[in-house]
Amino acid sequence: MLTNVAVVLLNGVHPFELGVVCEVFGLDRSDQGLPVYDFAVASAEGPTLRTHAGFSVHTEHGLERLESADLIAVPAGNTYATREYPPELLDALRRGVERGARVLSVCSGVFVLAAAGLLDGRRCAAHWRHADELAQRYPRIDVEPDVLYVDEGPVITSAGTAAGIDACLHIVREAHGPEVANAIARRMVVPPHRDGGQAQYIERPLPRSQCDTVGEVLAWMERHLDEEVTVEQLAARALMSPRTFARRFQQETGTTPYRWLLRQRVLLAQELLEATDETMDFIADRTGFGTAAALRHQFVRSLGTTPNAYRRTFRGSDAA
């Protein structure tokens, strides 16, 4: 059960990454019937801390606040990749995991979790600029430099700022279901779900356009998941040749049109399985898989479990 969230800060914290966690877990959205967390910001280095942006933040909570948290978040900070960390902070993080709390890092906050030994033998995500240094300093970690976030049981690591939002919404989705996560995403005006395995926007030899050239096509695809479409049809919508469209799509989403569409269909199937009593045939038709057998095949390939087993897991005795 996720009810108590604490964010722990060090000097040099990045305000935006701190704000990401505060936005997802720190706001009272009870007027929408959404969960309200017992949320606090704690300091590992005294009540007043400097931020990377040149101003200071003050908090009344110290490391003792972490002892009751279900989720402990470590946002990014300046020099986090090279500095030493208070031993009492590392001990508090280890105790948290030992008693069953989850721990989340945003961007360079991953170095704090690595220093605590929480990533040894685990996969982790890291911003592509930090991935090589993290792997060199901590060779027992399996660093994945090109994904948005990685969920390894009690430890969740995310890449850059936007990936931190994705990881936070992933945690909410696991704890409270897709409707709650989607409602928070709508309030934040961000995509409700990006898969953790989606590629980061990594620097490429060729310069990339700053505009989102396939955004309107993506929005159309989301509204028409139940329809069969080809790359040629999508390219025509984008007023591009199929070859140019496929290249732009890969650059801007990190995947191919087919894989993107398949992932969105599986995600919609997950939501319908969790939130409705609709039959497998209905869900297969609504998600564009056509038949219950095709839905089952793709669901097992993507998630390693059947749609029926997934529904039982997330709905228990309420499953139809």
Whole-model pTM?
0.66
Tell me: the pLDDT tens digits for 17-45? Answer: 999 999 999 999 999 999 999 999 999 99
Same fold? 4-188, 207-320: no
Superfamily the domain 4-188 falls into:
Class I glutamine amidotransferase (GATase) domain (3.40.50.880)
CB 125 within 8 A of CB 110: yes
Tell me: the pLDDT tens digits for 270-316? Answer: 889 988 999 999 999 999 999 999 999 999 888 778 999 888 876 65
DSSP codes, 126-180:
--TTTHHHHHHH-TTSEEETTBSEEEETTEEEE-SHHHHHHHHHHHHHHHH-HHH
Q: Which amino acid is at 76?
A: A
What is the topology classification, in CATH, of domain 207-320? Arc Repressor Mutant, subunit A (1.10.10)
**Structural domain boundaries of the chain?**
4-188, 207-320
Cα gap 86→225, rounded to integer Å:
50
Residues 6 or more apart in contact with residue 246 via CB below 8 angstroms: 231, 235, 256, 257
